[in-house]
Homo-oligomer: A and B are copies of this chain.
């Protein structure tokens, strides 16, 4: 099977980008990263990409008078690199419906909660305030509404007594680093089909455990 060509969009240190880079380094991983785009000059993740020999582009939203201009430049860079699937990995700009529609069903994001719970910012603080015993992370196709869209993969993560936001965030982040490469693999292997706004997984060759709780590997 041909490799799926990925573009990764970041704003910060890029720890989920690193997880994807590491996954792609494995010979049997069915995807490769063709470009990493940052909207913040000097974002930490750019150095990770460069260290892995991956082309990068900095497209700073501040350089564009309109959101449309900014996003056209991003789309052009993605298309120029032959990108088939765009992975948001800590990309901190809201995207317009036009951009989202351009990349419909070819644009995924990772969010640090078990969506639809705790959409938006401060997921961990709100989970702690509610006293929930589980939270997690979600990889989903992007839709114009924030943190909504067909769910490709989730990982459940326990909230432990005495957790503060940092401790919980670190535990969930470790799950994110397993969940994101897993979700990309499923898509790359052609095992994800969107039907009625749900992502149905053909799991012929996937043990449920591996699929559903990468955090427990």
Contact with B along A150-179 (1 / 0, CB 8 A): 110110101011000000000000000000
A64 within 8 A of B: no
Interface size class of A (residues with CB under 8 A): 20 to 34
Q: Are B154 and A132 in contact (CB under 8 A)?
A: yes
Q: Can you name 17 A-B residue pairings with CB atoms under 8 Å?
A: A114-B132, A114-B134, A115-B132, A116-B130, A116-B132, A129-B198, A131-B150, A132-B151, A132-B154, A133-B153, A134-B134, A134-B154, A134-B156, A156-B156, A158-B208, A160-B212, A161-B202
Contact check: which of B115, B131, B134, B213 meets A136 at CB < 8 Å?
A: B134
Residues of A within 8 A of B (CB): 114-117, 129-134, 136, 150-151, 153-154, 156, 158, 160-161, 197-203, 208, 212-213
- State in angstroms the CA–CA spacing of A198 and B197 once bound together: 35
* CB neighbours of A134 from chain B (8 A): 114, 134, 136, 154, 156, 212
Q: Are B117 and A158 in contact (CB under 8 A)?
A: no
* CB neighbours of A199 from chain B (8 A): 131
Contact check: which of B115, B130, B132, B161 meets A201 at CB < 8 Å?
A: B161
Contact check: which of B150, B154, B161, B198 meets A203 at CB < 8 Å?
A: B161
